[in-house]
Amino acid sequence: MKKIGSTLMALGVIGLLFVSCTNEEHKGEGFMDEVVIENVEDSMQLSHGYPEVTTDIREGYYLGEKINYEVKGDDFVFSGDILLNKKEVFDTKEESLASLNTKRRKRTGGVHRNLWPNNTVYYTVSRYLPAQYRVTKAIKHIESKTNLKFVRRTNQRNYIHFRVGPGGCSSHVGMQGGVQYINLGSEYGCSTGVTVHEIGHAIGLYHEQNRSDRDKYVTIHWNNIQQDYKFAFYMKKWNMKEYTPFDFNSVMMYHPYLWSRNRRPCITRRNGSSYINEHQQQHLSKLDIVGLSKMYPGNKVVTPVHPVTPVTPVNPVPPVDDNNGNYKDNTWYTIHGIRVKRRWNQWWYYIARDRTFRKVLNVNNSWVLDGSKFSNNQHHYIDGVRVRRQNNKWYRGTWYNNREVNYVNGKWVNV
């Protein structure tokens, strides 16, 4: 595979999650301390990538098509968090096509691999994986909405193993055969919604914004995307059947600001408007459920959802700078140049990297993170930065070389 990018320190996807039980055949999983993350249940703390893992960006051929992917540790990763089978990534198109000719693949909505037979997914969990309830809740949610059932493995050959990965969250797409991993890194916060997203990959779903018909519904703002992550926004070139219309609310849809280099959206609707939804990617959307009911048919009755109508592009409407003191609840405003949301008579700032709303205060015409809800004498990860709350102040660095910082107008600054 041709190397096309220099090494970089990737942004984080995440991990804190689940466990119980272990399996002796999974060796080499060292113990990692659980990181204290503020419990914001309605957040999805996902920003794809592997924190503090050196990566190379390369190009190769997969399913007969040229792709860019990352080498993160021992993993080949496509589109931020999709694990590729190394045996299916080739240097030349000819090799890739030859591989395709030797093995026919079942094509389903967004999946190039076999589905899980009998609607049953077997799994095990590493005992080193923290915050087990998140995976437990993710599985319970998927089972309640679909015809799938998840069963603890005994001696089944094909199964998922939830583990602490090399840093970040990632998964293969569809059943691979044998053991396959869902990596849930322990260093960055990983919510129940993130776990639903990664399980979504494992049961056969790709990212929504990579669909071949996406240009009818969204605009990709290439100039706003970090150079090293533009490849994550390329459309899937291999032919796949999509069982549902395009879905902005899908648990598999990127956040509009993910991998932004300038705090401007990387993805908008075709008319230039945003599709930010604070409930997005916490759970399966209605169309996710419809699609999975077709992939895994059964007794659950799913109500059809009306498709999204493609929109003709128009000039985007600039955000309203309403600073006259008359604010409506559950409404976005741009004040002092920062986009904030009025909710419950308080102000909230959306941190795209964490996919989390944080309460902020207007201090001298600047928006400052409200630290009153964060525990003292503990570390927290906020906007990709590890900081410590001490004596109601924020500090960054080691015990011997730390400095006071504050989160102002959407970034960490020295005090």
Angle (deg, nearest 10), helices 192-202 and 132-145: 60
The DSSP line for 306-336 is: PPPPP----PPPPPP---SS---TTEEEEET
CATH topology of domain 1-298+312-317: Collagenase (Catalytic Domain) (3.40.390)
**336 close to 367: Cβ distance less than 8 angstroms:** yes
* Model confidence at 116: pLDDT above 90: yes
Calpha distance 182→142 (Å, rounded)? 16
The amino acid that residue 140 corresponds to is K
* Model confidence at 354: pLDDT above 80: no
pLDDT at 205: 92
Angular region, 392: left φ>0, alpha ψ -120 to 50, beta rest: left
Which of residues 394 and 51 earns the better pLDDT score?
394
* Model confidence at 15: pLDDT above 50: no
Q: CA nearest 142: which of 119, 164, 158, 162? A: 119
242 exposure class (CB count in 10 Å sphere: 0-12, 13-18, 19+): middle
What is the band of 184 on the pLDDT scale with cuts at 50, 70, 90? confident
Q: CA nearest 22: which of 128, 108, 105, 140? A: 128
Tokens representing residue 183 in the block: 């990596």
Give me the mean pLDDT over the 176-189 stretch: 78
Tokens representing residue 106 in the block: 């079942």
H-run or E-run covering 202: helix 192-202
Which of residues 88 and 228 earns the better pLDDT score?
88
CA 354 to centroid of chain Cα atoms: 10
pLDDT at 47: 40
pLDDT at 109: 37
Arithmetic mean of pLDDT over the chain: 76
Its pTM stands at 0.64
H-run or E-run covering 412: strand 411-414
In Å, the largest CA–CA distance within the chain is: 67
Q: CA nearest 57: which of 263, 226, 208, 238? A: 226
What is the band of 68 on the pLDDT scale with cuts at 50, 70, 90? confident
| Most confident stretch, 128-137, 186-195, 325-334 | 128-137
Residue-wise pLDDT for 225-235, tens only, equals 988 788 889 88
Q: How much of the chain exceeds pLDDT 90, in percent?
A: 27
Enumerate the domain spans of the chain. 1-298+312-317, 331-414
Tokens representing residue 173 in the block: 């797409």
Indicate the Cα dihedral angle 215, 242, 48, 57, nearest 10°.
Answer: -80
Considering only 39-53, 147-161, 209-223, 246-260, which range has the smallest mean pLDDT?
39-53
Calpha distance 350→150 (Å, rounded)? 33
| Other CB atoms within 10 Å distance of the CB of residue 81 | 26
Angular region, 377: left φ>0, alpha ψ -120 to 50, beta rest: left
Task: Report phi then psi at 222, rounded to 5.
Answer: -60, -35
What positions carry a catalytic annotation?
A: 198
Calpha distance 298→147 (Å, rounded)? 6
pLDDT at 117: 94
Which of residues 32 and 137 earns the better pLDDT score?
137
Calpha distance 248→167 (Å, rounded)? 28
* Model confidence at 167: pLDDT above 50: yes
Calpha distance 184→16 (Å, rounded)? 6
Give me the mean pLDDT over the 123-142 stretch: 89
217-231: b (≥16 Cβ within 10 Å) or e: bbbbbeebbeebbbb
What is the band of 189 on the pLDDT scale with cuts at 50, 70, 90? low
pLDDT at 325: 60
Residue-wise pLDDT for 284-322, tens only, equals 999 999 999 999 998 875 665 555 555 554 444 444 444
* Model confidence at 399: pLDDT above 80: no
